[in-house]
Amino acid sequence: MKLTSLAFKNEGKVFLMLLMIGFISACQTTRPENHSCTLPSGFNVDDAFAMANSDLSHWECHYQFEQYMDKLLEIAASDPKEENKKHFSNFLAQARDNGVLSQLQARQYYRRYFTPDFVSLGTMHNNCSTTCRDQEKTIKQMKMELRDKHRGLLTVVNDNSVYAQADREFNHLLILIDATCLACR
């Protein structure tokens, strides 16, 4: 009788230890698999945007937003058309919804590539303390933005008239900046 009682106690201890091991292992969290962030390739615009949106829905890929944007511009340039503006608008809205960009950043990206307005100046292009403090830097930023507009409006969308408007706006702003800075001296 003592032998069976002792065996029962040992089985109880073993059961209790197995139960504790089960609880301990259940408390350990399994790490989620890292998502593979792969830039789109090829020439299919719809597939490229779908792939980029899918990847950017994973936080691991957020830091590569600039590379995705650049690659999508490259792929969209293989089939320039007005519809590409809508693709980029949706892509930027999705990036905003995924927490990659703020509302303001998404709007600025779109305007930088697809509208004649210059976002690099903000609203301070006629202000002595902001624009004229480093006039060369301001003009350099505007030239870079004009190149982005060339890429977006001409290469990706094939919209000569809006790009011509952006070019006129650029030249108008150069004159305005020169006049403002001359008056500030």
The DSSP symbol for 99 reads T
The answer to whether residue 180 scores a pLDDT higher than 70 is yes
Which of 167, 117, 112 is closest to 145 using CA atoms?
112
The answer to whether residue 4 scores a pLDDT higher than 70 is no
Interval 129-146: pLDDT, tens = 778 888 899 899 999 999
Amino acid at 20: M
- Helix segments in the chain, DSSP class H: 2-27, 45-56, 65-76, 83-97, 103-114, 135-149, 160-184
10 Å Cβ neighbour count for 116?
A: 18
What is the mean predicted confidence (pLDDT) over 103-132? 86
CA atoms within 13 A on the CB side of 29: 3
Structure tokens at 163: 């790009």
The DSSP symbol for 155 reads I
How far, rounded to the nearest angstrom, does the alpha carbon of residue 120 sit from its chain's CA centroid? 17
Q: Note the pTM of the prediction, 2 decimals.
A: 0.78
Model confidence band, residue 112 (pLDDT cutoffs 50, 70, 90): very high
